[in-house]
């Protein structure tokens, strides 16, 4: 009906007969497979930023990227797209990697330095540049679940990359809308939104030389926040160095504001970037969406895309803008 | 970008400065405003099925429909659609009603008789027929959140109706897909799916003379279940009596199967029906979607529409089909 693809990934369920997969408790420090010294508990690293002279898969790293031990998609094989009556299916080919963001178990993006966050952004970039060489992939999803309520199963600071043979729905819908706007006006809709929001001010949480954080006009969730580069650019991985620097500072700053005012919320952070193949450079504009998980009222919204939000974006902006935080330095 | 509307409903937040709106505990029996004898705690009923001789808003009812005390939308006023720069807004005009399904606090759809469930379906129908006379409304959403994990804040069995001045995204997307299929083939896509699934059998949980329950081919969530009438019909409220009878038995039966095999899960149930105005009768097919809330892994899916499902529909079908339940009678 809707052209939606779903990944059926039965391998991710470890106990075949247990369908109740509550994951409300996080794996704590003493058994953490992401801590230094436990490198043998994870698949071998595909990228690491290391102190000089240390060997792969040993301590001494500042950041590691590893394949996910329970991947949603498998990297080996061919897609074998086929029809099944009126339906479409293909093999679950893809890559699923974990970025272990910091050696310290208790660090968070809000307590890391902006320099440490920038290191994570460079790791994202490096992995995307490498993975997009594989012609089977059409999109790479970069996201972070922080806190059990947001779906994280490990406490140690980490984010994830999933390389996909399809373009996910949420990107496709944004692209369709952005294309329509471009066809009508020959302007990027995100650039237009930025211009209007910066002029109106009421929904601007913070703006720097390169990066702007706003409460979007029609937020689905309380305190949903978008972080956009001012400069037009479709692909996250093609951003200039200054934008990674500015983005790192902005992410740290916005999360510090949320921690201060919203009691250290769980959150999902998702990089929205253009698909590889399509010629979308004129009308798509990469950005980050940050959704703190404040309520369990998601029951209904979940699965319908119909949203009732008890907090206006202007109110959220005021709360976050006035949060007393330390000035974020690199 | 996506044409999405969001309801900003700040009135629903009772404490203005408290943004953490966790609602994980249900209001328990002794304070329940929906129990008989507490009719003065709710707004006056707009519909009730009553035992002979009992007065409105007093005990003696089998089912009551009341306006929601904390409505997401207000019924008074005009829409006043206007532009705000490049954005669109209108007043939050709508109706938000609660169907108190049964006088007994501890009843559930699985433990009610099929006759009692049918009574609820007739109440839905009656309220839709009445509300659709109001020309401001384009769609009426009928849904049920069961259990705190699914977003319910009261334990007493109830469901909700929201009359809307817009067509929600999830319906619009289904309509677009169904229209494309119809334009290509001059057949209803839901009828085609039913025909294919009944022939293939592997995803049919239960089928009766009028109603079929299936695991959809690309389920977003483990044990997501669709319940469809065999006969083509776009609007829930126009269904013939036999379909309400069959639907009541099927809902009871499917929930009994889930309770048996999935430890009495929380769930969301949503009626998918066609909008009033559009001429969609040839290609839309009303049905019910039932989503048990089994995992908290919704973190990421929430807000992206990108789904990783650890349970295949064939596996879910087998589990539910083989559940040992009593035969459901009317």
Q: Which of B84, B289, B304 sits opposite A168 (nearest CB)?
A: B304
Short-list A90, A33, A26, A31, CA closest to A57: A33
The confidence band for A15, taking pLDDT boundaries of 50, 70 and 90, is very low
| Tally of residues, chain B | 330
CB-defined contacts A:B, below 8 A: 243
Interface of B with A in 273-312 (CB under 8 A): 289, 291, 293-312
Domain B34-298+306-330, what fold? HIT family, subunit A (3.30.428)
Short-list A190, A173, A97, CA closest to A142: A97
Q: Do domains A34-164 and A173-321 have the same CATH topology?
A: yes
Residue B199 host element (H or E): helix B189-200
Residue B299 has pLDDT above 70, yes or no: no
The confidence band for A54, taking pLDDT boundaries of 50, 70 and 90, is very high
Span B52-93, pLDDT tens digits: 999 999 999 999 999 998 888 888 899 999 999 999 999 999
Higher pLDDT: B255 or B7? It is B255
Mutate to test the interface with B, among A9, A70, A198, A306 (most CBs of B within 10 A): A306
Pick the range with the lowest mean pLDDT from A5-14, A203-212, B9-18, B131-140: B9-18
Q: Which residues of B275-310 are buried (b: 16+ CB within 10 A; e: fewer)?
A: bbebebeebbbbbbbbbbbbbbbbbbbbbbbbbbbb
Q: Chain A residue with minimal CA distance to B70?
A: A310
According to the model, what pLDDT value does residue B149 have?
81
According to the model, what pLDDT value does residue B186 have?
95
Check if A214 contacts B (Cβ < 8 Å).
no
Domains of chain B: which residue ranges?
34-298+306-330
Q: What ipTM was predicted for this assembly? A: 0.87
According to the model, what pLDDT value does residue B4 have?
83
Percent of chain B with pLDDT over 70: 89
According to the model, what pLDDT value does residue B15 have?
40
Q: Are strands B6-8 and A307-309 parallel, antiparallel or unpaired?
A: parallel
How is domain A173-321 classified at the architecture level of CATH? 2-Layer Sandwich (3.30)
The confidence band for B153, taking pLDDT boundaries of 50, 70 and 90, is confident
Mutate to test the interface with B, among A304, A313, A314, A323 (most CBs of B within 10 A): A304
The pTM of the full predicted model, rounded to 2 decimals, is 0.91
Mutate to test the interface with B, among A4, A9, A10, A19 (most CBs of B within 10 A): A19
Out of B156, B158, B285, B287, which one is annotated catalytic? B158
- Residue contact A23–B311, C-beta within 8 A: no
User: B235: buried, middle or exposed (CB in 10 Å: 19+, 13-18, 0-12)?
Assistant: middle
Residue A213 has pLDDT above 70, yes or no: yes
Check if B217 contacts A (Cβ < 8 Å).
yes
The DSSP line for A107-165 is --TTTS-HHHHHHHHHHHHHHHHHHTTSTT--EEEEEEEESGGGT-SB-S-EEEEEEES
- Residue contact B21–A294, C-beta within 8 A: yes
Check if B209 contacts A (Cβ < 8 Å).
no
Check if A141 contacts B (Cβ < 8 Å).
yes
Distances (CA, A) of A88 to A80, A81, B313: 11, 7, 15
Residue B48 has pLDDT above 70, yes or no: yes
Check if B145 contacts A (Cβ < 8 Å).
yes
Report for A66-75, A253-262, B320-329: range of highest mean pLDDT: A253-262
Q: Which of A7, A190, A291 sits opposite B303 (nearest CB)?
A: A291
Distances (CA, A) of B229 to B109, B171, B286, B297: 19, 18, 8, 31
Check if A169 contacts B (Cβ < 8 Å).
yes
Check if A208 contacts B (Cβ < 8 Å).
no
Higher pLDDT: B151 or A116? It is A116
- CATH of span A34-164: 3.30.428.10
Which tokens belong to A151? Answer: 């779906």
Smallest CA–CA distance, residue B292 to chain A, in Å, is 10
Check if A17 contacts B (Cβ < 8 Å).
no
Q: Which of B10, B170, B297 sits opposite A305 (nearest CB)?
A: B170
Residues in A touching B304 (Cβ below 8 Å): 168-170, 270
Q: Which of B1, B217, B295 sits opposite A21 (nearest CB)?
A: B295
Cα B20–Cα A248–Cα A211 angle in degrees, nearest 5: 90
Residue B269 has pLDDT above 90, yes or no: yes
Q: Chain A residue with minimal CA distance to B24?
A: A296
Stretch B155-176: mean pLDDT: 92
Residue A130 has pLDDT above 80, yes or no: yes
Q: Which of A5, A308, A315 sits opposite B9 (nearest CB)?
A: A308
Inter-residue contact A188 to A182 (CB < 8 Å): yes
- Residue contact A176–B307, C-beta within 8 A: no
Span B167-192, pLDDT tens digits: 988 898 899 999 999 999 999 999 99
Instruction: Give φ, ψ of A31 to 5 degrees.
Output: -115, 15
According to the model, what pLDDT value does residue A188 have?
96
- Residue contact A305–B168, C-beta within 8 A: yes
Q: Which of B3, B19, B200 sits opposite A177 (nearest CB)?
A: B3
Check if A145 contacts B (Cβ < 8 Å).
yes
- Residue contact B4–A319, C-beta within 8 A: no
What mean pLDDT is reported for chain B? 90
Residue A162 has pLDDT above 70, yes or no: yes
Check if A193 contacts B (Cβ < 8 Å).
yes
- Residue contact A149–B5, C-beta within 8 A: no
According to the model, what pLDDT value does residue A293 have?
87
Check if B8 contacts A (Cβ < 8 Å).
yes
Higher pLDDT: A307 or B102? It is B102
The catalytic residue positions of A are 158
Residue B268 has pLDDT above 60, yes or no: yes
Smallest CA–CA distance, residue A329 to chain B, in Å, is 29
Report for A94-103, B12-21, B143-152: range of highest mean pLDDT: A94-103
According to the model, what pLDDT value does residue A17 have?
43
According to the model, what pLDDT value does residue A308 have?
85
Q: Which of B22, B145, B200 sits opposite A299 (nearest CB)?
A: B145
Interface of A with B in 247-266 (CB under 8 A): 261-263, 266
Contacts of B56 (CB under 8 A, 6+ apart): B44, B45, B48, B50
According to the model, what pLDDT value does residue B8 have?
87
According to the model, what pLDDT value does residue A26 have?
62
- Residue contact B22–A170, C-beta within 8 A: no
Span B216-252, pLDDT tens digits: 999 988 999 999 999 999 999 999 999 999 999 999 9
Span A272-318, pLDDT tens digits: 999 987 688 999 999 999 999 886 555 566 566 778 888 999 999 99
Report for A16-25, A80-89, B13-22: range of highest mean pLDDT: A80-89
Pick the range with the lowest mean pLDDT from A159-168, A211-220, A225-234, B293-302: B293-302
Percent of chain A with pLDDT over 90: 72
According to the model, what pLDDT value does residue B17 have?
43
Residues in A touching B178 (Cβ below 8 Å): 1
């Amino acid at each position: 009906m809707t052209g939606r693809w779903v990944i059926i990934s039965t391998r991710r369920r470890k106990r075949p007969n247990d369908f109740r997969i509550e994951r409300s408790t996080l794996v704590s420090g003493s058994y953490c497979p992401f801590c230094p010294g436990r490198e043998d508990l994870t698949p071998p690293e595909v990228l690491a930023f290391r102190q000089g002279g240390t060997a792969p898969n040993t301590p001494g790293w500042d950041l590691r990227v590893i394949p996910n031990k329970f991947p949603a998609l498998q990297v080996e094989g061919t897609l074998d797209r086929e029809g099944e009556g009126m339906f479409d299916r293909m093999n679950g080919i893809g890559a699923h990697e974990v970025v272990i963001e910091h050696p310290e178990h208790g660090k968070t993006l809000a307590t890391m330095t902006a320099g440490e966050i920038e290191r994570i952004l460079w790791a994202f970039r490096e992995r995307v540049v490498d993975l997009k060489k594989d012609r089977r992939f059409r999109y790479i999803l970069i996201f972070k679940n922080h806190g059990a309520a947001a779906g994280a199963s490990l406490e140690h600071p980490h984010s994830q990359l999933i390389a996909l043979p399809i373009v996910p729905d949420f990107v496709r819908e944004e692209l369709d809308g952005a294309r329509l706007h471009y066809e009508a006006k020959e302007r990027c809709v995100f650039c237009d939104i930025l211009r209007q929001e910066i002029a109106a001010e009421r929904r601007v949480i913070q703006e720097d030389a390169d990066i702007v954080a706003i409460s979007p006009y029609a937020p689905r969730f309380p305190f949903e926040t978008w972080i956009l580069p001012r400069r037009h650019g479709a692909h996250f991985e093609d951003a200039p160095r200054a934008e990674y620097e500015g983005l790192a500072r902005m992410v740290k700053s916005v999360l510090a504001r949320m921690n201060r005012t919203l009691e250290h919320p769980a959150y999902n952070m998702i990089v929205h970037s253009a698909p590889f193949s399509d010629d979308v450079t004129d009308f798509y504009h990469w950005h980050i969406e940050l959704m703190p998980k404040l309520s369990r009222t998601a029951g209904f919204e979940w699965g319908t895309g119909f949203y009732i939000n008890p907090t206006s974006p202007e109110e959220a902006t005021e709360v976050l803008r006035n949060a007393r935080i330390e000035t974020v330095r690199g």
